[in-house]
Amino acid sequence: MNSAKNAPKPAKLTPNLGLKHRNSFGLDSKAELAYEITSADQLPALMKELGDKKLAWRVLGGGSNVILPESLPGATLLINILGQELIQSDDSNSWLSVGAGVNWHELVSWALEHNLPGLENLALIPGTVGAAPIQNIGAYGLEVGEYIDSIEAFDSAAHAFVTLPKEACQFAYRDSYFKQNPNRFIVTKVVFKIPKAWQARLQYADLAKQFAESNSSPSAKQIFDAVCTIRSNKLPDPKVIGNAGSFFQNPIVPSEQCEQLSKKFPNLVSYPDTPGMCKLAAGWLIDQCGFKGKRVGPVGVYENQALVLVNHGGGTSTDILNLAKSIREEVLKKFGVQLEIEPNIL
Ligand code: EPU
């Protein structure tokens, strides 16, 4: 009796769910079986059922970093686990526990309002909290991994919940242990550790420029506002023009190759990376190949930022991947550099 009473409500199933409004590229896609997960404890029974039926599955968070095909067979898990809570605090840090389905930007705003500054450089990044650690979202001199304490996830290989401390998450540039092990973990909760000693992070040139004329150091709220302004000017709003943010990673190449390239292309944009390596601005490489603002049927390259591919309406994953292919070929031909696609191709 008791166990039945305490059993979690099963995940809500919607067959043939249209996903056009659940992916920022605005691609027409249908999920054969869409399950809405509102609580982590729905996962063990659901994952057992999918395993027993040998059904393929994947997770869809905010849909802001995916390229969806016209149809997604098997199960698509829509993670809608909400809630954020300050769970611990000492003299130096605050620990914040957040459900994987919480909207990322709303969390950044909430943290600021609750006097927990630190995440403001990552304002306005689309997507959910659960998706943020997978590709280790980063912008304006900050990556989310830096602020993560641990991650709770359902490990489908072990059929059990696991808590991975930050060190186990192997965060790197747009990379993590989760990304390296696709379709294994379902992130349910992220615990952030936010230092109480806050310091403005202004090393990113565009951001520093905003405050160059002011004598005093900006507040976290002022940085938040500035990041929102910079992003809105440079990146297309997915509600207006379908896109998935940066479409390629900034390639990391040996410093020697970088030096040779800068001799040939004196305006090359590059940044020092780990010793012996340097990071090239993929947007610059693509721009130099003449793709900025170019349109190919219903898809194209954004006019203000060549690293962003856009869906002007009615484009399919094939249209986008064909355009990506010609960009990769041209960049390889002109610069000898391989670009890697950033969003997940489902
Ligand atoms: N550039 C061009 N032409 C372009 C685009 C860029 O010449 O069309 C040059 C810029 O002038 C600049 C350099 O390339 O000198 C870098 O451009 P930008 O500052 O716009 O940053 P990014 O390297 O293109 C990265 C992230 C963004 C993040 C910004 C700010 C990646 C793949 N992208 O872009 O992240 O917001 O830095 O930190 O690392 C995302 O991942 O979806 C994303 C938007």
Who's near 231: CB < 8 A, 6+ residues apart? 123, 124, 139
**Does the Cβ of 142 fall within 6 Å of ligand 1?**
no
Does the annotation count 97 as an active-site position?
no
DSSP state of 215: S
Per the structure block, which two tokens stand in for 73?
């067979």
Closest CA relative to residue 101, chosen from 176, 39, 179, 35: 39
User: Of the residues 271, 284, 341, which should be mutated to test ligand 1's pocket, given the most ligand atoms within 8 Å of the CB?
Assistant: 284
**Nearest alpha carbon, ligand 1 atom 23:** 281
Helices vs. strands in the chain: H and E counts, helices first: 9, 20
pLDDT given for residue 4 in this prediction: 60
pLDDT given for residue 214 in this prediction: 81
pLDDT given for residue 5 in this prediction: 66
Tokens 């409004």, residue located: 21
Report the separation in Å between the CA atom of 90 and the middle of ligand 1, taken as the mean of its atom positions.
Answer: 37
Tokens 């990041």, residue located: 227
101 and 129 in contact (C-beta within 8 Å)? yes
Q: How far is CA 98 from CA 152, 169, 289, 346, in A?
A: 10, 17, 42, 26
- Structural domains present in the chain: 2-79 (3.30.43.10), 84-195 (3.30.465.10), 242-345 (3.90.78.10)
In degrees, to the nearest 5, what angle opens at C-alpha 253 toward C-alphas 247 and 257? 130
Report the separation in Å between the CA atom of 125 and the middle of ligand 1, taken as the mean of its atom positions.
Answer: 13
Type of residue at 86: L
The one catalytic residue among 29, 246, 270, 317: 246
Type of residue at 149: D
Per the structure block, which two tokens stand in for 125?
């990044």
Report the separation in Å between the CA atom of 284 and the middle of ligand 1, taken as the mean of its atom positions.
Answer: 8
pTM for the model stands at 0.95
Report the separation in Å between the CA atom of 156 and the middle of ligand 1, taken as the mean of its atom positions.
Answer: 35
**Does the Cβ of 249 fall within 6 Å of ligand 1?**
yes
Give the pLDDT of the chain (346 residues) as one tens digit per residue: 455 667 889 999 999 999 999 999 999 999 999 999 999 999 999 999 999 999 999 999 999 999 999 999 999 999 999 999 999 999 999 999 999 999 999 999 999 999 999 999 999 999 999 999 999 999 999 999 999 999 999 999 999 999 999 999 999 999 999 999 999 999 999 999 999 999 999 989 889 998 988 878 899 999 999 999 999 999 999 999 999 999 999 999 999 999 999 999 999 999 999 999 999 999 999 999 999 999 999 999 999 999 999 999 999 999 999 999 999 999 999 999 999 999 999 9
